[in-house]
Amino acid sequence: MARICIVTDSTADIPKALAEELSIRIVPLKVHISGETYLDGVNITPTVFFHKLRTTEQFPTTSQPSPGDFEQVYMELAEEYGQDVQIISIHLSSALSGTYQSANLAKNMVEPPMDITVVDSKKAAYLLGTIVVQAAKAVKNGKTKEECLELVNRMIIGQREFFVLDTLTYLQKGGRIGKAQAVIGTLLNVKPILSLNEAGEVYPFDKVRGKKKAMATMIGELKEYAGNHEVIASILYAMNPEEAEQLKTQLEEEFNVSEIALSEIGPVIGAHVGPNVLAISMFKV
């Protein structure tokens, strides 16, 4: 039986130990800050990145892997497991980055042709990561490639996610919202609750005054979604682990949680959202 391999990119923010345990191959994006270029998750940590973000005057930029970066990983997997290896390559929303397109180009570059399915997750950060992790667990449990892809597609469609930012400044600097919106939001202490639509684009779900109310609104929406169903949950944070731990405790008390993960947002996504973010995702099992 052919080996099934899971590939993703560094924006999935999967902890290194977990990726190694589940044999997930990660292709890094690049982050450019303070005149230096770093490989996301390879030679810069979130702590170092956010320190640089606070002290630099120049807004950081990010760039996707090249098709050649993906081709190299695909060929390495063929060398390791044989030319009949089956690859599921799951990536950052194509509405937010060209990473998915690079992986697709690489799929068509490899010679001889390989069994590679490239998936647009329509997600970002560990909203993507949790899908990748569940797919890798399915592989480990002996599921076929088709069964793994069916799970991935169900999670893409069925997962719900909300996130609240401490400031709109980074979204504005990155061109995701207008300057006026960012200024007004900061002055009024308006906390936008954001989500991802079916196309994988960031959109404003709601606006409330203050982070406490934002969290209550997010949890209320997720209760409506989850009901008493068993859920796989994840919490994303950036330089605010105490808030994330408190939120984890609350979710464990108020939801029927079968799995819950805490994930620190990495440099590439962090460049666009800034510090002190909190996000929640849930998927009904």
Tell me the domain boundaries of the chain. 4-28+64-158, 160-284
Q: β-strand 86-91 against 4-9: which pairing, if any? A: parallel
pLDDT attached to residue 107? 97
Distance CA 156, CA 119 (A): 10
pLDDT attached to residue 179? 43
pLDDT attached to residue 206? 87
pLDDT attached to residue 207? 84
Distance set, CA 282 to CA 18, 79, 97, 119, 152 (Å): 20, 37, 23, 20, 14
pTM of this structure: 0.93
CB-CB contact of 40 with 28 (8 Å): yes
Domain covering 160-284 in this structure, CATH number: 3.30.1180.10
Indicate if 160-284 has the same CATH topology as 4-28+64-158: no
Six token digits for residue 48: 């170092």
Spell out the residues 6+ positions from residue 261 whose beta carbon is closer than 8 angstroms to its own: 126, 130, 133, 233, 234, 235
DSSP state of 203: E
Identify the segments of the chain with pLDDT beneath 70.
168-188
Domain covering 4-28+64-158 in this structure, CATH number: 3.40.50.10170
3-state secondary structure at position 202: strand
Distance CA 165, CA 191 (A): 7
pLDDT attached to residue 188? 60
User: For 78-117, what is each residue's pLDDT tens digit?
Assistant: 999 999 999 999 999 999 999 999 999 999 999 999 999 9
